Amino acid sequence: MAHSAYPELGVSAIDALLDSLEAVRRVSLPSDPVLGPTTMNIGTIIGGRAPNVIPDAAKAEVMVRLVSDPAPIREAFTAAIGNRAQMKEVLCIPAMQFERVEGFPTTVVSYSTDIPMFGTSWGKPLLLGPGSIHVAHTSEERIAKKELEEAVQIYADLVKKLSATN
């Protein structure tokens, strides 16, 4: 940390973070023929104390949606960052392909779910429900009443279908 009038007396944590993030943004991310591309989002950036202070601390949170083995991405990010910053993995949710149920439409979605954390403790997992991911986590997040009513029928049909096959 130093006074902004004498930047040579300090080391800007924000500059190091920005350089690290730019290097991470240039990493080529894998793609999967079914799941599509890996996606990355720099979701938060925090740092500094005041405009007239060379910042001694800065932090960013980056979310990566995996579609394959995370090890090569970890290695590429570590190499890209070098010694400019410290990388800390908080959570790793593996890519997942779910079972198909005959007669029910399927799609590929570009978001994560907590389902892999349950393992097989609840049986074969299925992921379905009303609403659109396109408005999730926004001020427009909502589910129309009609979609909820349709979901009730879908769940009832699914229970009947799964009960008949067991």
pLDDT digits over 153-162, tens only?
999 999 999 8
| The pLDDT of residue 41 is above 80 | yes
Structure tokens at 92: 């790793």
What is the pTM for the complete model shown?
Answer: 0.79
> pLDDT digits over 105-160, tens only?
888 888 888 888 787 787 788 888 888 888 988 899 999 999 999 999 999 999 99
Question: Is residue 54 located within the same domain as residue 14?
Answer: yes
Examine the domain organization and report whether 120 and 68 are in the same domain. Answer: no
Cβ atoms 125, 118 nearer than 8 A: yes
Same domain, 106 and 164: yes
- 56 contacts 1 by C-beta, under 8 angstroms: yes
As a whole number, the mean pLDDT across the chain is 91
- Count the domains in the chain: 2
Q: Which of 40, 64, 95 is the last residue of a domain?
A: 95
The one-letter amino acid code at 150 reads E
Whether the per-residue pLDDT at 24 is higher than 70: the answer is yes
CATH number assigned to the domain comprising residue 57 = 3.30.70.360
SS3 content of the chain, % helix, strand, coil (to 5): 35, 15, 50
Q: Kindly state whether residues 123 and 165 are assigned to the same domain.
A: yes
Give the domain range for residue 118: 100-166
In the DSSP assignment, the letter for residue 12 is -
